[in-house]
Every structure is written in structure tokens, then in C-alpha cells.
Chains A and B, each alone.
Chain A
Amino acid sequence: MAISLEVNGERVDAQVLPRLNLADFLREQLQLTGTHVGCEHGVCGACTVRVNGEIVRSCLMLAVQTHGASVQTIEGLSDSGEVADLQAAFRDRNALQCGFCTPGMLMAAQDLLKQQAEPDREQIREHLSGNYCRCTGYQAIIDAVETTARARGRGTA
């Protein structure tokens, strides 16, 4: 099927099979491999991307469903500098070990920070509850998100 959408601000026209999910479309047809494929049934959060401004699981959405939509991946957020401070905080706090979950974590964390200026640790935990880190570095991840939220609140971000 023919689809036409916007990915990280660029128009994309493609031919896809109905069974192709958005995660595989991004990774294999567009070579945007920052979106990771973990569990493929919506549990791990590694494939989190933005569709029309809202975070979704790209393994639970068909590429054909994104016809006419605007998709943003971690590459888009990273290149635009939108999450530069969050990335720096992750690095400073060693909030990534193997790095597999990191793109999804950054997506979910940025989604929270856009909605809520200064979330507390419990709210951060709840918002990231759908993202698994198999290295179990959760405390450092929450620290990094909290630090970023505070810095942005002070206007130093």
C-alpha cells in the first residue's frame, strides 16, 4: 500500500505491506535505527516514538496507520536539540548502561516534562512505568529526569 507521511519534518512516500509495523518501517525502510525493537507486544517501551505529537508504541501501530501523520523519532528529537539537556543529564548521571532502553526512556521522559514542569519522583516513576531497563538502572534514570526538570524550571536549560 502507498503511504505518505512526515518523519522528523521530512516528507516520506513509501510502499508498505499491511503487516509491517511502524517500528520495522522506521528501522528497515528509513534506516532510523534509534527506535529499538524489544518485546514486540507493547510491554518494554523501547520502540516509543511520537505520532502527531503524542508518544506511542511503534510496535503496536501499523505503518499504514501513519498515512497522513507526523512521526518523530529519537533521531528527530536529538538532531533538533530538543532533548540535548536530558541526554546530557543521562550521561552525567550514568543513566544508561547498555543503552537499549535509552531512546524509549528519553521519549517518555520528554513527554512527561512537556506536560508537567516539575514532576516529583513518584510522577516520573509512573510516567516511565511502561519502559523497561533490563540493566535495572532506574534510580539513575529518575535522577537524570528529575535534574533536567529542575534545571528547566530554573530556566537554565
Chain B
Amino acid sequence: MKAAAFAYARATSVGNALELLKAYGDRAKVLSGGQSLMPAMNLRLISPELIVDIGELAELRGIAVTGSVVRIGALTRHVDLLTSPEIAAHAPLLTEAISHVAHPAIRNRGTLGGSLAHADPASELPACMVALNATIIVRGQDGERRVAAGEFFKGIYETDLSARELLISVELPVAGKHSVHFFHEFARRHGDYAIAGLAAQAMVERDIFTDLRLVFFAVGDRPVLARAATKLVNITITPAVLAAACTALGEELDPQDDQQASAAMRRHLAKVLLARAASALLDRPDLNAGGRA
């Protein structure tokens, strides 16, 4: 299938892009890397009247570390994140997650901002943003807003971003001394959308979680920050404690049925991921004795 006809504007500045978005509202779509927008247009899931191409806006590109904050421009591509020494040092969860995002040819075009604004519930980066406690910075005619990642994702392809705003950048706290991370997903083919996945960021001191953010994806309409994680914080983890957390997780999740997997299979896989994460983060192989369970 081919995209329906549309008008095309190459934005010359953020201000110019915002003016176009103000004039066209939800009849316009922002083109960043195009790796989610173009398939949707080719499949005629959407037919925008105007495409605002922000690809030339160099000011939206790049990674900068200032003090305890990593700032990533919205146009930063997946491949740039994957190969960035700053990201590897200060947000290693992202480096690991990106290798699961699609394939090299897609990572060469796809951007962080595009992925977040698209908000596919099965995609990796929204979950990482919630796990890392990121702040998402958006700009509209009236200036900038800062939105916590946990508040940004509203549903399937739905975010807090209005049709007249542009996602500018994200800010992540630099990973601390006791910080550890875990990332894994189950997919039919490497690089495909996950059937169930987990992005986790934790603080571990003397073999105990002092903080644990478990964010599951592809098991709900948005990234799910698991409340079950609280059962594992500030307590010595035994197999019984872990089993109780897995049970709580199963009750808390409400995954969807689709052609890839049933809700029951997704719930099962999420529990497997939780056990693997706890085992890996604490370096306690005994906690994942079942291994394949």
C-alpha cells in the first residue's frame, strides 16, 4: 500500500514547526525518523493533510551530560543512543534496550522522540523512560512543559502531547553508584515488537533493593510501572517473597489477547521476567532456580 496524498513542509526552526502545527492541529503529523509514521501512512491507518518534517532541526539532536542529568534531543536516533559512550556510562538500561528495537536499517532512521510520541504499548523506549524516571520536555506556542514519563503515556498511541506541541527532549537522572538495571523481552523474531517485556532500574545495597522500578511493556495499553515491586523493597528476598510478588503482579496486570499471545500467556511471561529480573539484579541465581518456569 502507498500513503495517501498529503502536503509536505520542511520545518526551518522549532518556531516554524509550531506555527504549522498551530494552523493545522490534528490534520498535521510531525515526521521525525518516520519509522512508525510511514508504516501507518502506507497502511492507510492515518492520512494526514500535512506532514511537518522536522528532520533538519539540528537543535533537536544530540546527547549532553550536565551534572547529574543526561539530556537527549528528540531527534537523536536509535543508532546514536546505541553507540553513545555517554548513554552507556550514565543510562546503560537504554543501551541494552536499543539493541532490541527493530533492526539496523530502522535504527539508522528511528528517533527517540518519534518513538515516545508514537507511544506503541509494545515498544521498548517508553517503558525505559518510565523505569529511568525521565522527564519529557514538550514545547507549544505558550512555551515549554515538563512532564514526568509516568504521566506522559495515556493509552495505545496516546500521550499527553497535544497536536499543537512538539516533543523537544528528554532528561534522565545519571545512574547512581548503587544503580543496576535489567532488560529483557520475548519476541517472535529478534527486533520484532515484544510479546512481553521488562525494563527495570534498581538500587541495591547489601543485597537488598532500596528502590525497584519494574516497568512492563506489551502487557497493557501503556508501560506499566508494577506496584508488585514494592513487595521486594527493603526486605531480604526469599523464594516465598518472590512468589508473593509474582502473584501480586499477575493480579495487577490486565494484558490483552491478540494473535501473538493470549492474556494468560502474557501474564505468565511477565512473571517469568520478574523472577529473572530479581535474580539478575541481585546476582542470586537461586531465585531463578526454575529458570524456564
Contact = CB atoms under 8 A, between A and B. Distances in A.
B105 A56 contact: yes
Nearest to B190: A129
B55 interface: yes
B103 A19 contact: no
B35 A42 contact: yes
Interface in B3-54: 3-8, 10, 31, 34-35, 38-39, 42-43, 51, 53
Task: Give the size range of A's interface with the partner.
Answer: 20 to 34
Given A19-B2, A40-B1, A129 B105 contact: no
A40 to B, nearest CB: 5
B157 to A, nearest CB: 16
Contacts of A57: 35, 105-106, 109
B116 to A, nearest CB: 18
A121 to B, nearest CB: 13
Interface stretch (A59-67, A72-80, A91-99, A144-152): A59-67
A36 to B, nearest CB: 14
Interface in B100-126: 102-106, 108-109
Given A21-B3, A40-B1, A64-B53, 18 more contacts: A18-B6, A41-B39, A42-B39, A42-B106, A45-B105, A55-B104, A55-B108, A56-B105, A57-B35, A60-B39, A60-B42, A62-B31, A65-B55, A108-B105, A111-B105, A112-B104, A129-B191, A130-B103
Interface of B: 1-8, 10, 31, 34-35, 38-39, 42-43, 51, 53, 55, 79, 102-106, 108-109, 189-191
Interface of A: 1, 17-19, 21, 24, 40-42, 45, 48, 54-57, 59-62, 64-65, 108, 111-112, 125-127, 129-131
Contact of A130 (B8, B31, B55, B104): B104
Contacts of B34: 60-62, 65
Contacts of A19: 2-6
Question: Shortest 6 CB-CB distances between A and B: which pairs?
Answer: A130-B103, A18-B8, A41-B39, A60-B38, A129-B190, A54-B108
Contacts of B43: 41
A127 B103 CA distance: 7
Contact of A60 (B7, B51, B109, B189): B109
Contacts of A24: 2
A21 B104 contact: no
Contacts of B103: 45, 129-131
Contacts of A62: 8, 31, 34, 38, 51, 53
A130 B106 contact: yes
Contacts of B190: 125-126, 129
A130 B187 CA distance: 13
Nearest to A49: B105
